[in-house]
Structure 1
Amino acid sequence: MLTYSKLAKRPSIFRSFTGLEVSEFDYLYEKVESGYEEHERERLSRRHRKRAVGGGGKFKLNLRDRLLMLLVYYRLYITFTLTGFLFDLDQSNVCRDMRYLEPLVGRCIPIPKKVHKLTRRLKTMEEVEQFFPGFRAFIDATEQEIPRPKDRAKRKSHYSGKKRRHTVKTQLTVNSKGLIIHRTNHARGRRHDYDIFKRNRPTLPEGVRPGVDLGYDGIQNDFPEMKPMIPFKRRGRGRGSRGVKGKDLTPAQKRFNKRLSKARVVVEHTISRLKKFNIFGQEFRNRLGHYDLMTDIVSGLVNFRIMGRELLT
């Protein structure tokens, strides 16, 4: 049976299984434990519950091992059957235990919604620069494959021509440290990145410029007040015609593109960190109604590791 006491003795395996260092897990557990009693009281006294508070089955695992099980599932994305085998539980109890714990974990980590709300309260330029070094933010969207929908309309709306798969999209906004400032709800894979941005764009402090790729072409005309940084591209009347190239970029434009690409790589690194949690990196097998909560928790764990260096010192 897999337990915290066994796994904590193997720090490298612990990190591979959970995505956190043992010290980071301990810090997170303290926060979860402090809010657990109130969380359970709210859950057990909810409306339409038929059993009295205190009735019903008890949890077989202690809180520390349930938190460990949740992180192992998110990191490795194994089946409920295998998770139950590792933690000596029935697969239905695995699902139940994690569903009860997820909202509390989401409240204990810096999910993007909390960070975005914090950035909107920044008042002085010093506070803004501390949160956004260089007064820059970077925006990009990522896709995750889903099983082929049974409904014909959903098959069409979720089909991504780029990935040649049925997918859902999420747009992320990060600062130059890789901290996730904003996250959109998932969108259908058919939708264009820029369309997602126009429907749900982040609110950035005054003076902070967003850096985007050419998938957001048009942002400079539609949102000039944001002063976006977007790569230059070849443009000309012959662009797209066979054998005809657009006008070459100037050396200054090429240097700008290179600097922007070098700065924007931070958002690609953040997406890579997210996808190391296999629940976000592999085909999403769960219900899409659960997708945004999952993305919140994974994003919050990535933020927790970035901010945790300050919290643990």
Structure 2
Amino acid sequence: MANILEYIEKNPEQAQRLVGLKYDQLQQLIQNAITHNQKLAEAEEQKIRIIKGGGGRKVKLSMEEQIILTLIYLRHLTTFQLLGIQFGVSETTANDTFNYWFPLPARIVTFKYVRTSKKNSSDYEIVKEILTEYELIVDSCEQPRERPGEYQERSLPGEASPGELQKKV
């Protein structure tokens, strides 16, 4: 839903509380993501294909909303079911969106460095060394998740369970 995005645009001071980034950092991340995706689309158009791409179902969320969904998941560690309800998509779509955008910062940084260093091969080697040391760190607390349990057969009243039989012996 656009409600979260609209809320952040109307109240930029709340951006860090909601997604973990300041408003200007969020805008910069979104702008970099859009630029990166445009370059990927241009590269994809240049490929020679037998079947033209672009078929299938159209996306329900804009690129900005997809990034916000990913950041909210990282910030609050909510379930994909709740994210799907919050953004008006299915649980699977929320999961797929997160898994697509999660490596985004690494892709953007790598793309920027490689693009600027391709002109000079010595710079390219330095950039390769730097990027091998990069590590994406997400600050979050780990909380136990309620997961559906395995199906367990219940014994009838008066019947002894296998554990009770062992205790009697």
How high is the TM-score relative to the length of structure 1? 0.34
Code of the aligned partner of 1:80: F
2:14 corresponding residue in structure 1: 13
1:98 corresponding residue in structure 2: 98
The Cα of 1:22 is off from its aligned counterpart by 0.8
Matches of 1:45 and 1:70 in 2, distance apart? Answer: 29
Q: Contact between 1:45 and 1:53, CA under 8 Å: does it hold in 2?
A: no
Q: 1:4 to 1:14 in 2, by over 3 A?
A: same
The Cα of 1:53 is off from its aligned counterpart by 0.3
Cα-Cα RMSD: 3.7
2:86 corresponding residue in structure 1: 86
- The structure richer in helix per residue is 2
The runs of 5 or more residues in structure 2 that have no matched partner are 115-125, 146-169
1:23 corresponding residue in structure 2: 24
Matches of 2:33 and 2:8 in 1, distance apart? Answer: 19
The runs of 5 or more residues in structure 1 that have no matched partner are 122-180, 185-270, 286-313
Q: Contact between 1:19 and 1:75, CA under 8 Å: does it hold in 2?
A: yes
Between the aligned residues of both structures, percent identity stands at 21
Matches of 1:44 and 1:102 in 2, distance apart? Answer: 24
Which one has the largest radius of gyration? Answer: 2
1:1-47 C-alpha deviation (Å, 9 max, x unpaired): 4331222222343211211111111111111111113335678999x
Matches of 1:4 and 1:13 in 2, distance apart? Answer: 11
1:72-127 C-alpha deviation (Å, 9 max, x unpaired): 111111000111111111111111222223344431247xxx9xx64957xxxxxx
Matches of 1:91 and 1:61 in 2, distance apart? Answer: 13
Matches of 1:105 and 1:182 in 2, distance apart? Answer: 11
Matches of 1:76 and 1:42 in 2, distance apart? Answer: 35
The Cα of 1:55 is off from its aligned counterpart by 0.3
1:56 corresponding residue in structure 2: 56
Q: 1:84 to 1:42 in 2, by over 3 A?
A: farther
Q: Contact between 1:39 and 1:104, CA under 8 Å: does it hold in 2?
A: no
Matches of 1:26 and 1:75 in 2, distance apart? Answer: 17
Q: 1:31 to 1:75 in 2, by over 3 A?
A: same
Code of the aligned partner of 2:34: E
Code of the aligned partner of 2:80: F
- The structure richer in strand per residue is 1
Q: 1:63 to 1:119 in 2, by over 3 A?
A: closer
Q: Contact between 1:81 and 1:91, CA under 8 Å: does it hold in 2?
A: yes
1:140-186 C-alpha deviation (Å, 9 max, x unpaired): xxxxxxxxxxxxxxxxxxxxxxxxxxxxxxxxxxxxxxxxx6549xx
Q: Contact between 2:15 and 2:22, CA under 8 Å: does it hold in 1?
A: yes
1:282 to 142, 145, 150: 142
1:290 corresponding residue in structure 2: none
